Structure 1
Amino acid sequence: MDKLKMHSPDLSQANIEKIQSLFPYCVTEVYGEDGEIKLAVDFDLLKQELSDSIVEGPQERYHLNWPGKREALLTANAPITKTLRPCRDESINFDSTENLFIEGDNLDALKLLQESYLGKIDLIFIDPPYNTGSDFIYKDNFSVEKSKFLESDGQVDDLNNRLMSNTNADGRFHSSWLSMMFSRLKLAKNLLSENGAIFVAIDDGEVANVRKLLDEIFGRDNLIANFVWQSKDTPGNDSTGVAQTHNHVIAFSKSNSFKPNLLERSDKQIANYKNPDDDPRGVWLATPLTRSEFRERDFYPLVSPDGREVYPPDGTCWRRPKDVIEKLINENRLWWGVKGNANFPMEKKFLSETKDGVVNQSWWPYEFAGSTRNANAEIKKLFDGKKPFDTPKPTQLIKRVIDMCTSKDSVVLDFFAGSSTTAQSVMECNIRDEGKRTFIMVQIPEYCNEKSQAFRDGFENIAQLSRSRIERFFNSINFNDKLTLSNRLGFRTLKVGETNMTDVYYRPDKANQADMFAQVQNIREDRSDEDLLFQVLLDWGVGLTLTISKQQISSKDVFFVNANDTGEGADLIACFASDISNELIKTIAEKQPLRVVFRDDGFATDAVKINVEQIFKQISPITDVKSI
């Protein structure tokens, strides 16, 4: 019976396996620090294999580089032995909701989600710290000490002697911020579905760097757009003499499978369609028939209703070939004005024949996507007239993104949750169109500034405040029967924590002889069965929002994940009790689950432990049986 690994995936090993599939003789085996055999790349052979295209280190090439980039890549790929611990007391509808709120460092959270949500996220919207250097509730200044930067940048030697005269002050300020973003964006890409997209809100200070990061990670061909959002509806005073009234939302797709949804036509746009000639096909829009370039093929005369011979203006031509124009005339699709004496004809575009919506544009005025004024009003409405968040985003902005990129059952991730505007936006979209979208919010429990409104209102950290917004919006909803039954409302809180397993048990290289008898138990004493269950879900890549029920079988607590009312056909059945008997194992096997997990030391006898696999082979051969 195999054991679960109980740590996040080692992405570097996964990448090596991909190389192995292409160039098997370029991959070898070595002993790792823990004494276990692992894969490694023979780079000399790989370079030889790619000799026609490889770029050697010092060669000039176009790319973004900074001190700490390699370390950031290693950080993204390195596995961690942390877990997600359930917190019922800080959740809403814990047992039925399919939304997640994860409290903890988002780098850890993204690693822990790699298997359960690999390729399952349809939209990622993040509003990361803008690296302004100001004191913000979330760590907003990622600059490093000058001496540390100069050493890492190669500008000083081991004796602290300067090697270059240029201090590269800008680099010192940006490098740590870039490393922070790089590792997280690398992990985020893995979670996106093939037709998924990521949207990053940013200001002018780091927009160029964010664009280069996304170019490198997602590929510049997958740029959707740099949307310019008019974030302020009134100009303010600025020391530069130019009022900054905009921010950026840079969007990239996972692949060319992404197809944005059309925008719904506004009442103003529909009002442009008229029917002055009472055409039975309904209202229509008059569109120009001339092209602002000359093509000899499309330069010919048209005869107006009043008998004039009309040519396109000099330097232009008609937009349609002559045979197409003749067809339009026969179908009464040319418009010469009410009296038939217009200088040039127009083409009639009928509303009934157009697409269901209009294409998206890269300019988002505040009337379209909301403003910071709207965002502040929304926060104050939920928090009794107070403003506990300094820079929230308006729900109208994020709902525009949701409308463009999601279907009614999409999964939306925000790993810089902040004020949880994204969570509220997802719920509002579901209420509007009876959708079943779900959200995953990730927020570090950064302490609130003692001078902030949030601290004065009794909030210790941002994660508490973020959850409070979701809860307040939830309580403000005027429920009807359909919404009351919806499993898309509420959220299940999980907190990033140390592994449930003792280090010595899973790191034998750290053990010594004196520890052996002290480490009989491989599970930390302060952990519950539900803690163990969620770490198993993570390790096995099972959904973290599936329904969970608990039954008593042979006087033992048994968990059923995504099972029917009788407990049959479950995605997972888990029992972490002691003294497990053959009878209990047979009862579980009769439920025909896909997976089963027990504690390695939980069996009544060694004979029972040996019999487990045989019992399942006889009763439920489809079941994958493992232990922790």
Structure 2
Amino acid sequence: MNKLQGESLNITKQNINRLKELFPEVITEGDKIDFEQLKTVLGQVLEDQHERYQFTWSGKKQAILGAQKPSKGTLRPLIDRSKNFHQTENLYIEGDNLEVLKLLQKSYNGKIKVIYIDPPYNTGKDFVYKDNFANGVQNYLELTGQVDAEGNQLSTNTESNGRFHTDWLNMMYPRLKLARNLLTDDGVIFISIDDSEQEKLKMICNEIFGEQNFLAQVIWERAYSPVNLKKNFSESHDFILVYGKNIHGLESNGLKRTQAANDRYSNPDNDPRGLWKSSDLSVGPAIEKNIYEITTPSGRKVMPPSGYSWRLNKEKFEEYVNDNRIWFGPDGNNVPSIKRFLSEVKDTITPMTIWKYQDVGHSQSASQSLKKLFHDKAYFTYPKPVELVKRVIELYSNPDSIILDFFSGSATTAHATMQLNAEDGGNRKFILVQLPEKLDENSEAFKDGFETICDIGEERIRRAGEKIKEDLDETKLNVLDTGFKVFQLDSSNIREWDVDFDSLEDRLDLFETPFIESRTQLDIVYEIMLKQGLELTDSIDCFLVKGMTVYDIGNGTLFICLEDKINVNIANAIIEKWNHYGRETSSVVLSDAGFAGNDTEKLNCIELLKGAGYPEENILTI
């Protein structure tokens, strides 16, 4: 019987397998790569010069390797902190986003349609994660003060430390590398940033996502008045970098047409085709064949402006005149223009790259809205406006898309997702990840009972969901999902085999059960789901077999039994359930300790499952 792998997706092994599929001849014994053979296959186009165009910094190689190092951690469910835990499809995860992104690689690879993140801007006042790639979960526990860390706490990244930009780049690179894997082929990532790291962020995004997949650098007008204390310039904007995973065939949903845009259309000549507006007939640069004289109905002769030509050639222009699509003004004496009918334009507007605060809000309006939600308490400084993030989601998501934000902060992304679902009837799901940073004990939020940023974020989602439902039609109340499952990053529920010959007898006693004390069966079930690549929102049902619990995950996708006295009755019950669902594939995970050393019983279970059609690789022990 195969052992369940205790790590997250091994990205290095995955990359080797992909290379093996493309060029099997370059893989040698032991899955080593023959680079000389690879050069031959690629036609000697590899760059081997010592001087080349590249963007590098101290620690970059370690950051790349760190992103590929599997995590041995897990995500534990916190039902008491959740809302509608057993019904909701939304996730809120407390933990270091690097480790969480690793743990999501199997379950959500290629499933996220839109990622929006608002990472630390590196202004000298921001927290920047200090990653320990050797043991990411232990590093996370130390940073959040959950274990004795000899004073190792989060600190601000100040320019005086000598590695100001380097620390920030080493934080961002591996997280963006992992995030790309999670995007669908037509997925898009939006990243908020300011001038502090904008150019460096764009360079690492060009490397990770590809220059050809750059979509836009949006300018968001975040302030509406100058700060006169500034000596030179008062910054009034932030940037939002936008990249697609694969720009080929990618197209924005566009923005909904506003009434103001429609009001620009009229019908002064009572055209039976309805409302229209005029559009310039001239265009530059000039095309020689489209430069010709036009005589207006009043007899006036006109030519295109110098350096311009008409948009239409002479024959096409005559067709437009005959179809009453050319407007010469009420007196027939104007320079001709083209009539664009409202009934013929698309329902959406292509977004421009400058987003005005009148359309998507500004920092002060966002702060005031959040303050109002918390009964006039200001717990966050400079949160992003809901309308801003809602536009981000609206541009590229589908009604059933998954939205990810792994620097979730004040949880605006959750608020925006629920708000958009309420407006258009969608069923988008959100996944939020946030480090539970300790709040200052002198802060207003701490005095009001909030200990971490996560406490505030979760409460914000609760309050926002209820506020949205207050304004919602009763027929949609039961459809809108305003709940969220809370998970917490932690060390694995399963003990690692650590050979210490000085305490071997004690260690053997521990391994009567492989599970950590105080961990529940549900903790273990979710860890198995992650390691098997199932989504954390897949259904979990239970059935009893002679008093023993069997977990049925995803309607027969996976069966788990963690009981102490597993026997053939369990195997037969699983087979019966599997046949009931009629699934082609399914997996079974059984507690190895549950057989209590009875190898005959274990063998009988395996043979029963194999005889029923289970492939041997789908029968696992833990």
Aligned to 2:492: 499
Any conservation in 2 of the 1:131–1:141 contact (CA below 8 Å)? no
Q: TM-score, normalised by structure 2?
A: 0.89
| Per-residue deviation, residues 499-555 of structure 1 (Å, max 9, x unmatched) | 111111xx6699985444542321112211101100110011011101222232211
Structure-2 separation of matches of 1:621 and 1:41: 34
Tell me how far apart the structure 2 counterparts of residues 483 and 532 of structure 1 sit (CA, whole Å). 35
CA 1:41/1:314 → structure 2, altered by over 3 Å: closer, same or farther? Answer: closer
Please give the alpha-carbon distance, in whole angstroms, between the structure 2 residues aligned to 1:170 and 1:446: 21
Over 3 Å counting, the alpha-carbon distance change for 1:293 and 1:582 in structure 2 is: closer
- Tell whether the 8 Å contact from 1:124 to 1:412 is kept in structure 2 after alignment: yes
SS of match in other structure, 1:286: strand
The letter of the residue matching 1:27 is: I
Q: Is the CA contact 1:590–1:619 (under 8 Å) kept in the aligned structure 2? A: no
User: Is residue 389–residue 454 contact of structure 1 (8 Å, CA) maintained in 2?
Assistant: no
State yes or no: 1:382 paired with 2:373. yes
Q: Deviations over 1:131-167 (max 9, x none)?
A: 0111x5xx15979xxxxxxxxxxxxxxxxxxxxxxxx
Q: Please, which runs of 5 or more residues in structure 1 have no aligned partner?
A: 31-38, 144-167, 564-569
The amino acid of 1:613's aligned partner reads I
Asked whether the 8 Å contact 2:540–2:553 carries over to 1, the reply is yes
The aligned residue for residue 298 of structure 1 is: 290
**Equivalent residue of 1:597, what SS?**
strand
CA distance 1:234–1:475, shift in 2 (3 Å): same
Q: Distance in 1 between matches of 2:367 and 2:266?
A: 39
Deviates more, 1:328-337 or 1:466-475: 466-475
> Any idea what the Cα deviations from partners look like across 1:53-91, whole Å, max 9, x if unmatched?
2223622x2221100000000110001210111110010
Q: Which of 43, 63, 81 does residue 90 from structure 1 map onto?
A: 81
Task: Specify the alignment match of 1:196 in structure 2.
Answer: 187
2 CA distance for matches of 1:573 and 1:66?
47
Q: 2:279 aligns with which of 284, 287, 295?
A: 287
Give the distance between the partners of 1:380 and 1:112, measured in 2 at CA: 34
Per-residue CA deviation, residues 237-278 of structure 1 (Å, 9 max, x unaligned), is: 353421100000000000024211121111111110010001
Q: Which of 457, 470, 478 matches 2:461?
A: 470
**Deviation at residue 306 of structure 1 after TM alignment:** 1.6
CA distance in 1, matches of 2:71, 2:501: 16
Choose the corresponding residue for 1:53, options 42, 45, 60.
Answer: 45
- Residue 72 (str. 1) matches residue 58 (str. 2): no
2:616 paired with 1:626 = no
Q: Which moved more, 1:45-54 or 1:428-437?
A: 45-54
What are the within-5 Å matches in structure 2 for residues 4-403 of structure 1?
A: 4-29=4-29, 39-43=31-35, 46=38, 52-56=44-48, 58-59=50-51, 61-134=52-125, 136=126, 139-140=127-128, 172-256=163-247, 257-342=249-334, 344-403=335-394
* SS at 2:488 equivalent: strand
TM-score by length of 1: 0.88
Q: 1:590 is matched with which residue? A: 576
Q: Is the 8 A contact 1:133 1:142 kept in 2?
A: no
Aligned length: 583
CA offsets 1:190-225 (integer angstroms, 9 cap, x no match): 000000000000001100011001000000000010
- Structure 1 residue 173, shift from structure 2 partner: 1.2
Output the CA distance in 2 between the equivalents of 1:556 and 1:360. 57
Check whether the contact 1:197–1:252 (CA below 8 A) recurs between aligned residues. Answer: yes
| 1:286–1:347 contact (8 Å) kept in structure 2 | yes
Mapped to 2, the partners of 1:484 and 1:577 lie a distance apart of: 40
2:405 counterpart (414, 417, 420): 414
Distance (whole Å) between structure 2 residues aligned to residue 511 and residue 626 of structure 1: 31
Give 1:496 deviation, angstroms: 0.6
Give the whole-Å Cα distance in 2 for the aligned partners of 1:401 and 1:349: 29
State the distance in 1 between where 2:531 and 2:166 align: 33
Task: Please give the residue correspondences for 1:428-507 in structure 2 after superposition, counting only pairs within 5 Å.
Answer: 428-476=419-467, 477-478=469-470, 481-486=474-479, 488-504=481-497
Q: Is the 8 A contact 1:392 1:419 kept in 2?
A: yes
Q: Distance in 2 between matches of 1:109 and 1:265?
A: 38
In the alignment, does 2:594 pair up with 1:612?
Answer: no
Aligned position for 1:152:
none
Instruction: Report the counterpart of residue 603 of structure 1 in structure 2.
Output: 595
Q: CA, structure 1 residues 51+340, in 2 after alignment: closer, same or farther (shift >3 Å)?
A: closer
Structure 1 Cα separation of the partners of residues 165 and 130 of structure 2:
7
Question: Structure 2: how far apart are the matches of 1:366 and 1:601?
Answer: 61
1:481 Cα shift?
4.7
| Amino acid across the alignment from 1:584 | I
- Is the contact made by 2:567 and 2:605 (CA closer than 8 Å) also made in structure 1? no
SS at match of 1:7: coil
User: What is the letter of the counterpart of residue 598 of structure 1?
Assistant: L
In structure 2, give the amino acid aligned to 1:8.
S
Instruction: Say whether the 8 Å CA contact 1:576–1:602 is kept in structure 2.
Output: yes
The alignment partner of 1:423 has SS state of helix
Aligned-residue offset at 1:106: 0.2
- The Cα of 1:296 is off from its aligned counterpart by 2.2
The aligned residue for residue 140 of structure 2 is none
CA distance in 2, matches of 1:320, 1:308: 19
CA distance in 2, matches of 1:420, 1:56: 46
Deviation at 1:97, TM superposition (A): 0.4
2:543 partner amino acid: Q
1:189 alignment partner AA: R
Does residue 528 of structure 2 align to residue 536 of structure 1? yes
Equivalent AA in structure 2 for residue 337 of structure 1 = G
Give the distance between the partners of 1:101 and 1:126, measured in 2 at CA: 15
Cα distance, 1:552–1:269 mapped onto 2, change above 3 Å: same
